[in-house]
């Protein structure tokens, strides 16, 4: 078991474009001391120059999948040179009350190097194992799909 912490800090300020409400901007401090400027998404009166919780959730799923993919590939003797993804999350009205992240689509692009090159079947197996083991994916109710060649 491991424990993961962060700190959230918000103080009332005027909204930049709507005088009738407050700023949603806040700071997220991670346990390594990194600070992330965060806000609500633009659709909810947030600041487009800041990360929003939905983006961070989608990024966490993608990052977790990537880290498992890299570990499994290395264990199987494959050398990954680069891994890029442009994950997309869909915030929609779901079966539950209110809005929810219903789907997250991962679209990884991976470059391999070294002497041992995986075929598409091997890459699909690595993705399937990463998908099965990803802690974050196992923690969300959104459907997570992996679109790869």
Residue-wise pLDDT for 80-134, tens only, equals 999 999 999 999 987 767 899 999 999 999 999 999 999 999 999 999 999 999 9
Long-range contacts of 133-136 (CB under 8 A, 24+ apart): 133/68, 134/61, 134/64, 134/65, 134/68, 135/64, 136/60, 136/61, 136/63, 136/64
Asked whether residue 1 is assigned to any structural domain, the reply reads: no
Picking from 129, 147, 149, the residue whose alpha carbon sits closest to that of residue 138 is: 129
Looking at the fold, whether 69 and 126 belong to one and the same domain comes out as yes
Looking at the fold, whether 26 and 70 belong to one and the same domain comes out as no
Asked whether residue 110 is assigned to any structural domain, the reply reads: yes
Q: What CATH number does residue 129 fall under?
A: 3.30.300.20
For the chain, the domain total comes to 2
User: pTM for this one?
Assistant: 0.92
pLDDT single digits (tens) 68-77: 999 999 999 9
Picking from 111, 140, 144, the residue whose alpha carbon sits closest to that of residue 128 is: 144
Asked whether residue 83 is assigned to any structural domain, the reply reads: yes
CA–CA gap between residue 81 and residue 73 (Å, rounded): 11
Looking at the fold, whether 61 and 37 belong to one and the same domain comes out as no
Who contacts 25 (Cβ-Cβ below 8 Å, separation ≥6)?
10, 13, 37, 38, 39, 46, 47, 50
Picking from 24, 23, 17, the residue whose alpha carbon sits closest to that of residue 39 is: 24
């Amino acid at each position: 078991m491991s424990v993961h912490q962060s700190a959230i800090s918000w103080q009332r300020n005027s909204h930049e474009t709507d005088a009738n409400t407050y700023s949603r901007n806040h700071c997220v401090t991670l346990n390594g001391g990194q600070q992330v400027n965060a806000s609500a998404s633009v659709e909810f009166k947030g600041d487009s120059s800041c990360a929003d919780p939905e983006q961070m959730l989608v990024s966490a799923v993608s990052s977790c999948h990537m880290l498992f993919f890299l570990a499994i590939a290395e264990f199987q003797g494959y050398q990954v040179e680069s891994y890029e993804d442009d994950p997309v999350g869909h915030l929609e009205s779901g079966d539950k009350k209110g809005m929810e992240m219903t789907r997250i689509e991962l679209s990884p692009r991976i470059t391999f190097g070294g002497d041992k090159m995986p075929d598409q079947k091997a890459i699909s197996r690595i993705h399937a194992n990463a998908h099965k083991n990803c802690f974050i994916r196992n923690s969300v109710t959104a459907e997570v799909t992996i679109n790869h060649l």
